[in-house]
């Protein structure tokens, strides 16, 4: 089962993946320097024995929407991440629209 993230830039997608898996999916030097996800990140998550997820962390910045779409095409389930201090933002809506078109729930 492939679990993916979606949501606006800086709403905590990568932090959530790291909290669940212990893996920092931002692996590129530029991602570290800029503090944003640019390319797809990958991790594994097993909430209980025999029940495993592959995790895809997607970028939230509008300039990297192609990477988000590439990651979303392989998702079975998605965690739509919304920062409580900002609420729904433009990329939240765009990601949700893309997920609905792709039939990801």
Q: Which of 48, 3, 44 is nearest to 25 (CA)?
A: 44
Q: Is 14 a catalytic residue?
A: yes
Q: Is 97 a catalytic residue?
A: no
Which one is catalytic: 8, 11, 14, 26? 14
Which one is catalytic: 8, 11, 13, 95? 13
- The answer to whether residues 30 and 53 touch, using CB atoms and an 8 Å cutoff, is no
Q: Is 10 a catalytic residue?
A: yes
DSSP bridge pairs for 27: none
DSSP codes, 11-51: SSHHHHHHHHHS-----SHHHHHHTS--S-EEEEEEEETTE
Write the burial class of residue 63 (CB in 10 Å: 0-12 exposed, 13-18 middle, 19+ buried).
exposed
Q: Is 13 a catalytic residue?
A: yes
Write out the catalytic residue numbers.
Answer: 10, 13-14, 61
């Amino acid at each position: 089962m492939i679990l993916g993230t979606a949501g606006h830039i800086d709403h905590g997608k990568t932090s959530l993946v790291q909290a669940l898996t212990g893996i920092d999916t931002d692996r590129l030097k530029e991602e570290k320097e800029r503090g944003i996800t640019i390319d797809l990140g990958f991790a594994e998550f097993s909430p209980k024995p025999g029940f495993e997820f592959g995790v895809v962390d997607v970028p939230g910045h509008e300039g990297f929407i192609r990477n988000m779409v590439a990651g979303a095409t392989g998702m079975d389930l998605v965690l739509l991440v919304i920062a409580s201090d900002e609420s729904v933002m433009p990329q939240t809506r765009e990601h949700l629209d893309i997920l609905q078109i792709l039939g990801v729930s």
